[in-house]
Chains A and B, each alone.
Chain A
Amino acid sequence: MAYVAVKGGEAAISNAHRWLAEDRRGDPAVPELGADQVREQLSLAVDRVMSEGSCYDRDLAALAVKQARGDLPEAIFLMRAYRTTLPRFGYAQPVETAAMAVRRRISAAFKDIPGGQVLGPTFDYTHRLLDFRLAADGMVPDAAVEAEEPQTYPMATIASVFDHEGLLESDVPSADTGEPFDLTREPMSFPAGRDQRLQALARGDEGFLLSLAYSSQRGWGNTHPLCAEIRLGEVAVAFVPDELGFAIEIGELTLTECHMISTGAAGMETAPQFARGYGLTFGHCERKAMSMAIVDRALRDAEEVEVAAPCQDQEFVLYHSDNVEASGFVQHLKLPHYVDFQADLQLIRRLRREWFDREAALKEAAE
């Protein structure tokens, strides 16, 4: 069969993109949305795009949200594409979340956590009633209340509180680990170590991880987690430039961290204790950090017990958690598949012909 190259649609594509730009702008009588407004006023959309786009830059993420017309997976794709254009200077030193300048820190498991329950700027306990005052222009909210005494840092972590009793499994650096796995440099490989899993979860789709975490809570690989600690705040990033040979702080990031704990499958060799799951995201992505911690916990369970549910299966979780890959594979079906369809048509026509022939032969034999 001769192969016929099909070209065309250039004008149609160009016109479609012009229409897209016009639609993006919306009604010209309404003032245009600035990327700075997105950055400041849709900050949680910006946080999600930085987190799953795997690139911390509030201005870029805001631009991506604007360009994608608020379609966050599309904005995440734009961030991932942009990051491939930049050189990498190197790896930062691990952030010290224990030293975080905490704006929010709660423990749902332990009421009396040292430092107290600090709610911070949260949707929790709001009534989820639409506030029509926000639809009116020019409303200036009351300034946040400032206490006489500032919160002091660092705040004790849940792990440090129970450390001396050994009630909580403690995470200590292993003696002989090399460089952590880097998904941006190496393909996914199995069995995946916890470093690879945590990186994949950190850039994974919030919706996918949320549903997996929910499935785990509902009994599909039950981890029965308790939320030991959530913290939101700012941490410094330290980096060793080649020119200096010692670490300097190159900036500050907003991070959300979550520790989930659950009573683990106790082995015979160690005393029973709570096992931990860990979540860490750029920006304020609390639902994501909690889901990540539950899924991390479930994946760790699979090191001990037989995989019985999707959330414990590392290949299932890690191969399907990236929304850029998932979206690409699902959405590529929109692109022309004329030849595949032609082949399928030929196959179906042949099968039908054979089926009718067989039916006719059977009928003839019966008569």
Chain B
Amino acid sequence: MPATPVVEAEPRKRWLSVLAKAKPAEVAAAWDGLAQQPGYRVLRAPEIGMVMVRGRAGGTGDAFNVGEMTVTRAAVRLETGVTGIGYVAGRDRRHAEIAAVVDAMMQSPDLRPLAEGIVDPLETAQLQRRDAAARKAAATKVDFFTMVRTRGPAA
């Protein structure tokens, strides 16, 4: 059984982020639309838990605990032996499991093109949503103008 190939952290961070930020329904639809789904075994069944979110005093100072967020995690192993993990905000078990499978696929050279067919459109959708929000925000930017005031004669 081949060991899990060593994938650099940076590209992996990118697709794990995309998978986590995607809407559960989008992820499920993309998975269901896959021409060929690889076989896999669940190493860690999707588990719902929490992560404590932290902020910084004044935005930049010492850390403090703000409150928790729900998170679901899962781990899978493809038939090829490559393992993948999913850590996604919320309580959607299927979202976490699919994210883990896609993570493993992205690490497998032969399955990667198939997985990119899921990750890339999800990223595009996120960028489009972000862009739309940024355009709406820009439309609410205040244009200051100075009123021309005529002063009366000095009293």
Contact = CB atoms under 8 A, between A and B. Distances in A.
A32 to B, nearest CB: 22
Interface string B84-101: 010111110000000000
A165 B84 CA distance: 49
B67 A282 contact: yes
B99 to A, nearest CB: 10
B51 A280 contact: no
A291 interface: no
B50 A89 contact: yes
B73 A172 contact: no
B66 A280 contact: yes
A56 B142 contact: no
B134 interface: yes
A196 B57 CA distance: 11
A55 B85 contact: no
17 contacts: A50-B67, A91-B54, A95-B54, A95-B56, A149-B135, A149-B138, A151-B141, A159-B60, A171-B60, A172-B60, A180-B54, A198-B57, A199-B64, A237-B53, A239-B51, A248-B12, A253-B89
A199 B66 contact: yes
Contacts, number: 245
Given A118-B141, A250-B87, A250-B88, A236 B68 contact: no
Given A86-B48, A88-B51, A251 B60 contact: no
A253 B67 CA distance: 12
B59 A97 contact: yes
A101 interface: yes
Contacts of B140: 104, 118-121
A94 B56 contact: yes
B90 A59 contact: yes
B67 A86 contact: no
Nearest to B44: A243
Interface of A: 50-51, 53-57, 59-60, 83, 86-95, 97-98, 101-104, 111, 116-121, 144-153, 157, 159, 170-174, 177, 180-184, 194-196, 198-199, 202-203, 234, 236-237, 239, 241, 243-244, 246-253, 257, 259, 276, 278, 280-282
Contacts of B57: 171, 194-195, 198, 278
A92 B137 CA distance: 28
Given A173-B56, A237-B89, A241-B87, A249 B13 contact: yes
Q: From A50, A102, A147, name the one whose CB has the most chain B CB atoms within 10 angstroms.
A: A147
B34 interface: no
Given A57-B91, A282-B66, A146 B61 contact: no
Given A54-B67, A282-B66, A182 B20 contact: no
B69 interface: yes
B89 A252 contact: yes
B9 interface: yes
Contacts of A152: 134
Given A51-B67, A249-B20, A87 B50 contact: yes
Contacts of B9: 244, 246
B58 A159 contact: yes
B63 A94 contact: yes
A247 B13 CA distance: 8
Given A56-B53, A145-B136, A251 B65 contact: no
Contacts of A177: 62-63
A237 B130 contact: no
